[in-house]
Structures are given as structure tokens and as C-alpha cells.
Amino acid sequence: MSEHTALITGITGQDGFYLSRHLLNQGYCVHGIRRRSNSFPAPRPEPVGADAAAAAQVHHHIGDLLDPIGLRRIISNVQPTEVYNLAAQSHVQTSFEDPIYTATVVAMGTLNLLEAIRDYRDASGREVKFYQASSSEMFGKASETPQSESTPFRPRNPYACAKVHAYWQTVNYREAYGLFACNGILYNHESPRRGENYVTRKITRAAARIKLGLQERLVLGNLDAERDWGFAGDYVLAMWQMLQQAAPDDYVVATGRTHSVRDLLNGAFGLLGLDWHDYVCIDERLLRPVEPTRLCGDASRARRQLGWQPRVSFATLVHMMVEADLAAAEREQTLLAAGYTA
């Protein structure tokens, strides 16, 4: 039996996928919490091929951050040595429409989990290390660029406000209760497993489907928005590395380079020999009431203390996502030709 047991909330999300794969490779026994769904198959795509073999090794538990009793039961059954809190209503635009739900899951859900861990640790005498998925969105209307661990938070949307709450709860559990608790302040990170309603995946998926005649147009919001985009597979390494240090701390994880939504469009459509101007239109309903100022991270501390650095460039990331979405579009085309409809 492995001496390392990890419990991941948000296991069905993008980062849950890459983190569980990394921990399995490190010899961990990996457990994940997933929400119950009436839909079958589950709304999230299931891993295939080698990824499916890895996913089959994860022990799944039905649970919800909003159910503190269920969380306690899972923690005392699993007896984790490390807990990674990745679960969240993580879509910023949605948080403007659903601020109370977002705050309840992101802020109170994190507190439910921290309380369950504290009680388990105190009752069992076993140490549990905790990782909180904090976000660059907490910097919001940032007073400086690039942002580092010492940049003040000035959140600009309900999601970011809730993440600031969860951030400080994590710091407080470290300082008041002596929990080994770390915040990873991660900038945008993407992959072929990114949700389809985030701008990178929305663009790469649309470019591939347009190329194959499965879609005619792509409707977007703010094309001038800039982000510091990295690869999720790189960023989950930093999460794990934080929990392997001698002492807990908070770390910015970023590439230090920004690109605009236009750059993304040029990259993705360009790879397929298409001119995005022929397909993209703007819908003002996709513009956000406010945007953060230029979010660009200074990951010097992570580089110095963790030895972490991003490996995948923006161009390679876009290439990887376009390639995966083209393969998915080809599968979709084959199914359509065989008479299957979505």
C-alpha cells in the first residue's frame, strides 16, 4: 500500500485530470470527489486510451463541497496525507450571473473542507497537507504588473472575491491551527481538457469544426483581453511541489508572458489555413461588466523555491489544443456520416 494518499476535489475538471495522472505516476493512491449526476454518460468527457487506464486507478467518491457531513465521512474513510482543493464554480462570466452560488461553493465550500480536515487531523493525530486552488483573478485591478505574492488583491468579479475569501481562510488555517496549507496563485492554464466555454478551448474547438464544415461562425466577446496563458500539465506539477516543501507557503505560478484573444485567433485559425476575420463575430452579451487589468505573473518564488518552470510555450499549447480538437471534429464528422446525431 502507498504511504502517500491524495484526495482531490474537482477530479472531473481539467486540473483534476492532470494532477491525478501526475500523482499516480509518483506512486500515490489517488482518491477523487465527484458530484452526483443524473445524466449518463456524465456531462464531462471520459478519458480514453492510456488516460482511461490511469483514470481507472482513481478511487471515486460521490460528494459535494456544499455537504460538510459528506466531506467528513470521505476524509475519515480515505485518510488522506494530502488534499488538493480544485473544486469550484470556476467560470468568471457565470459568477456575474450567479454570485451567491459561486461564493457559496468557492468560499464556504473551501471552509467546509478546511474544517473537516482540521477535525480529522485533531482526532487522528495524522498530518494532512492542504492545497488551495487560488487564482490570478484575485489581483483584479492590479496595482502593478507583473504581479507577485506581495501584490495586494483587488478582485473585480464575484468569483475572484470568493477566491480571496478562500485564500485568506487557507492562510488562517496555517497560522491559527498549524495546518500545512498552501495557496497556489495560478494564472490561466489550458489544455485539450479545458472546458468548452473558456476562450482558448472555445476558439480551438470552433476553428477545427469550421475547418471540417461542422460550424459556420464563432461568437466571442472582448478580443482585446490579454491573459498569461500556460499549460495545465505544467501547472499541476507546481501544486504537488508546494506540498513537498519543508514549510507551507503561497506561490504565484505563471509564464510571465501575455497574449491577447486576437493572438489566440491568429494562432488557432492560422494553423488550419483559415482567416478568423471571415468567421468571428462579436456579441456584446459576452462582454464582462469589468475586466481585470493586465494580468501577468512573476513566478520567481516558485522558480527559486520549487525549481518550477513552465515548459510548454503559448504556440505549442495552441498547437496541442488545435490538434486535439481537429481529431475530435473528425470523430464527430464520422459519426454524422454514419447517421448519428448529437
Q: Is 162 helix (H, G, I), strand (E, B) or coil?
A: helix
Q: Which three cell numbers stand for residue 48?
A: 480514453
# residues contacting ligand F7E (CB under 6 A): 21
One-letter amino acid identity for 215? Q
- Position of minimal CB gap to ligand NAP: 13
Residue 269 φ/ψ, nearest 5 degrees: -70, -35
Q: Which of residues 43-102 bind ligand NAP (CB under 6 A)?
A: 44, 64-66, 86-90
| Closest CB to ligand F7E among residues 145, 333 | 145
Which is nearest to 84 in space by CA: 235, 227, 188? 235
Q: Is 65 helix (H, G, I), strand (E, B) or coil?
A: coil
How far from the centroid of its chain's Cα atoms is residue 124's Cα? 31
Exactly one of 28, 131, 159, 187 is catalytic; which is it?
A: 159
Q: Which of residues 101-130 bind ligand F7E (CB under 6 A)?
A: none
| Closest CB to ligand NAP among residues 5, 183 | 183
One-letter amino acid identity for 156? R
One-letter amino acid identity for 56? A
Task: Rule CB under 6 A: say whether 313 interacts with ligand F7E.
Answer: no
Exactly one of 95, 120, 137, 190 is catalytic; which is it?
A: 137
Minimum CB distance to ligand NAP, residue 234 (Å):
12
Exactly one of 135, 167, 187, 235 is catalytic; which is it?
A: 135
One residue of 105, 117, 225, 265 binding ligand F7E per CB under 6 A: 225
Q: Are 135 and 186 within 8 A, CB to CB?
A: yes
Q: Is 214 helix (H, G, I), strand (E, B) or coil?
A: coil
| Closest CB to ligand NAP among residues 84, 211 | 84
Burial class of residue 137, CB neighbours in 10 A (0-12, 13-18, 19+): buried
CA distance 59 to 123: 24
| Closest CB to ligand F7E among residues 44, 72 | 44
Residues 6+ apart with CB under 8 A from 336: 214
Q: Verify whether residue 137 is a known catalytic residue.
A: yes
| Closest CB to ligand F7E among residues 241, 258 | 258
CA distance 342 to 335: 9
Q: Verify whether residue 167 is a known catalytic residue.
A: no
One residue of 186, 199, 218, 312 binding ligand NAP per CB under 6 A: 186
Name the site residues for ligand F7E (rule: CB under 6 A).
90, 92-93, 135-137, 187-188, 197-199, 202, 220-222, 225, 227, 261, 286, 288, 291
Q: Catalytic residues, which ones?
A: 135, 137, 159
Name the site residues for ligand NAP (rule: CB under 6 A).
9-10, 12-16, 33, 35, 44, 64-66, 86-90, 105, 109, 133, 135, 186, 188-189, 195
